[in-house]
Amino acid sequence: MAQNKVTSEQFIGFKKREAAGVKKRAEVGKIVSFIILAAFCIIWVMPFFIMFFGSLRGHIDTTFYPKELFYPHSGYTLENYKILLFQEYPPDFPQHNTTQEYAIGHWFMNTCFSAIGGTLLYLLVASLAAYTFVFIDFKFHNVLFAILVASMVVPGAATSVGNQSLVYAMGLNKSILALIIPGLGGIYGMYLIKTFFESIPKDLIESARMDGYNNWEIYLKIVLPLGKTVLFVQGLFGFMGGWNDLVWPQMLFGTQDSKKWTLQVGMAYIINNSKTANLIGSALAGGVVCLVPVLAMYIVAQDKIIDGMAGAGIKR
Amino acid sequence: MEKTIALNDQQVDKRARRIGFLKKYGIVALFLLPFLAAFITFFVLPLIYGVYISLTNFKYGAPGEEAFNQAYWYTLIFTKKMPLLHQAFWASFLHSVVFSVIMVPVAVLLPLALAILVNKKPPAFKLFRSLIYLPSIVPLTAAGTIFTMMFMTKSEHGLLAEMFGIDIKWFIDSWFTFTIGDTTFDVAYAWIPIFLMCLWGGWGSNFIILSAGLENIPKNLYEASDIDGCSAWKKIMHITIPGIKGQLVLCLFTTIIGYLGLYGQNYVLSNGGPLISTLSGLPGGGKTSTIMYFIQDIVANVPNFRSTIYGLGAAASLVFALFVGIISGIQMYCTRERKTGTKISEAYEKWHKIK
């Protein structure tokens, strides 16, 4: 008989729920929202398929059988990727000249350097600064931090023109380093890392000091391992930001030799050159090349990205 | 004897303290310096340099040859000394403002509706959440290729033209014109692809932030309202919306600020065009140019502008930055009590307490 016992609160709650018919309605709500979301997601994911299958379609099919999108008339082909990567045009391809070379290998490497190298360097610099602000008590550190935070009101547009000329004056305007170095002073990531470091118990650090650890050892052996979640999240955001940035690389290298461009600058150039039925396939192939690294990262780390964004309320 | 020992002790003490001091501040300098140096070099200095450039006849690539010119660039922006340039700037500015005002309800209400649906936890809601956020990680140019293909003209076998027979020259034709006072506004069709591209992938972070806000609303409020017999709509209006007010305000402002800086979408899709005939040959002289497009035209894309009116670019960017800065200042003030998101208010509070 024991299993039939119900407390009075449970009984009342049960009765109330029953009276309101909550459960049934909740079920209906779930099904309705499932249907709406499924329909929405199918529409929203379509462009990915358009891009992917469009890139696998030969230029003849694009011109003469444009409606056969997902099953190209004469089968799938890698023709567009050959045009993009090796400038290997098919024999019957109409004459096509570009003023700048499609140096997509260079663009890819530059973008990797900017996104990965820039992110790693920033994580090091910003986490050291965050460590100093949280765990070392020095004079005026609150004032200093308040100044840094207040400077977040100033949008990037205010400094970009000055930065461009400053980089020129420093002689970095031909160097790929200029892609990453100006980002090292960013406040947002440091702020995020600092907020997380504040949740690390101070006692832990103090006892480590007692044991004779110096600051570098504490940073390396205690704070970094404990803070690796936030570093990972900030790293993901930094990578995506670096990968998707168009404005700054364009300001730096937009009018220079195409070998210095990043993928975004180069792709923008390709698109502006490919607004015809023959060439749109190669632009779509470029889109796929551009998307794959970010997509792979998203698939692997989507929970971290979403949770990190929800937790920090970051907006980029 | 005793005296000397005491003195020695004192000296040792002093020395130890000095070493301690040096050690501490040495570490502070070592750890903080890279960041602070980068901050000063690439934030403070460029800000000052930018102001200086905007007040001189600076030429990109030839620093040191400039001279002050009585805020000439600002007079071009704020007076009709050169009416066409004045018009090009303010048309671009207007485009940015109007577009971001149009985008705000879309980029807040759509994710809000989706977040409410996802929050009902239907089957596979995690998959939906990932898929809904997915377009937001797509690089701008990759998205640009798709929308270029969709909106190519009939003669180039664009997807929409072929599939649905819509025969519009999207990036050439003018959608409609209207007149207010003695100014005629010409709205190009090209805004539609740009809008759709933003609609597709421009609000993912709003969705995530609003979802997180919804999760934090206490469930018993809904249960109580069920007992009181509230309709679903009433629940949304009286529980959900007030419960995520902070997140809504944040999304509102970040959306406005984000779309004020619209650049990539119109650069990739329409290249700022179609050109306004009277303004061709001027920076930002297109029907879809925005303020960032105007600035980028001068400082990055056209070498000729860069060597003649570089200072105008700096002046324009400062005017724009002031405008955006005021808005984000208001945002910081409004969102100072929120839990998630930027905890600027808390930093300030702590600072005040310590003072």
Mean pLDDT to the nearest integer, A44-71: 87
Rounded to 10 degrees, what is the CA torsion of B52, B57, B58, B60? 140
* C-alpha distance from residue A79 to each of A61, A88, A105 (Å): 12, 8, 17
**Chain A residue numbers touching B351 (CB-CB < 8 A):** 142-143, 145-146
What is the count of structural domains for chain A? 2
pLDDT of residue A265: 92
Least confident of A62-71, A126-135, A223-232: A62-71
Cβ contact B137–A240 (<8 Å)? yes
Does B265 reach chain A within 8 Å, measured CB to CB? Answer: no
Return the number of other C-beta atoms located less than 10 Å from residue B245's C-beta.
13
One domain, residues A77 and A151: no
Residue range of the domain that includes A77: 2-83
Reported as a single tens digit per residue, the pLDDT across A160-182 is: 999 999 998 888 888 889 999 98
Domain contains B283: yes
What is the count of structural domains for chain B? 1
CB-defined contacts A:B, below 8 A: 344
What are the DSSP calls for A248-260, one per residue?
A: HHHHHHTTS-GGG
Does B80 reach chain A within 8 Å, measured CB to CB? Answer: no
Cβ contact B123–A169 (<8 Å)? no
**Chain B residue numbers touching A50 (CB-CB < 8 A):** 146, 149-150, 159
B146, B148, B291: best to mutate for the A interface, most A CBs within 10 A = B146
Domain contains B39: no
One domain, residues A11 and A128: no
Four-residue CA torsion sign, B91, B97, B103, B105: negative
Cβ contact A129–B32 (<8 Å)? yes
Cβ contact B223–A22 (<8 Å)? yes
User: Taking the mean position of all CA atoms in its chain, how far away is CA B325?
Assistant: 11
Confidence check: pLDDT of B343 > 50: no
Residue range of the domain that includes B151: 80-354
Reported as a single tens digit per residue, the pLDDT across A208-267 is: 989 988 888 999 999 999 888 889 988 988 998 899 999 999 998 888 888 889 999 999
Domain contains A174: yes
Average pLDDT value for chain B: 85
* C-alpha distance from residue A129 to each of A123, B34, B35 (Å): 10, 8, 6
Domain contains B44: no
Q: How far apart are the first and last CA of chain A?
A: 60
Confidence check: pLDDT of B344 > 50: no
pLDDT of residue B340: 43
Domain contains A315: no
One domain, residues A161 and A250: yes
User: Taking the mean position of all CA atoms in its chain, how far away is CA A193?
Assistant: 17
Domain contains B234: yes
Which CATH number is B234's domain given? 1.10.3720.10
One domain, residues A11 and A145: no
**B179 SS3 class:** strand
Reported as a single tens digit per residue, the pLDDT across B135-188 is: 999 999 999 999 998 898 888 888 888 888 888 888 888 888 888 877 778 888
Q: Taking a contact as any Cβ pair under 8 Å apart, which residues of chain B between 149 and 178 contact chain A?
A: 149-150, 152, 156-157, 159, 162-163
One domain, residues A247 and A127: yes
pLDDT of residue A23: 67
Cβ contact A290–B139 (<8 Å)? yes
Model confidence at B354, in pLDDT bands (50, 70, 90)? low
One domain, residues A148 and A71: no
Confidence check: pLDDT of A199 > 90: no
- The last residue of a domain, from among A51, A83, A115: A83
Confidence check: pLDDT of A87 > 70: yes
Confidence check: pLDDT of B348 > 80: no
One domain, residues A6 and A69: yes
Domain contains A74: yes
Cβ contact A313–B342 (<8 Å)? yes
Overall pTM surpassing 0.90 (yes/no)? no
Domain contains A301: no
Does B337 reach chain A within 8 Å, measured CB to CB? Answer: no
Domain contains B193: yes
Domain contains B205: yes
Domain contains B26: no
One domain, residues A136 and A193: yes
Domain contains B177: yes
Q: Taking a contact as any Cβ pair under 8 Å apart, which residues of chain B between 204 and 233 contact chain A?
A: 205-206, 208-209, 211-212, 223, 226-227, 229, 232
Q: Nearest-CA distance from B182 to chain A in Å? A: 32
Least confident of A91-100, B73-82, B110-119: A91-100
| Distance from C-alpha of A78 to C-alpha of A58, rounded to nearest angstrom | 8
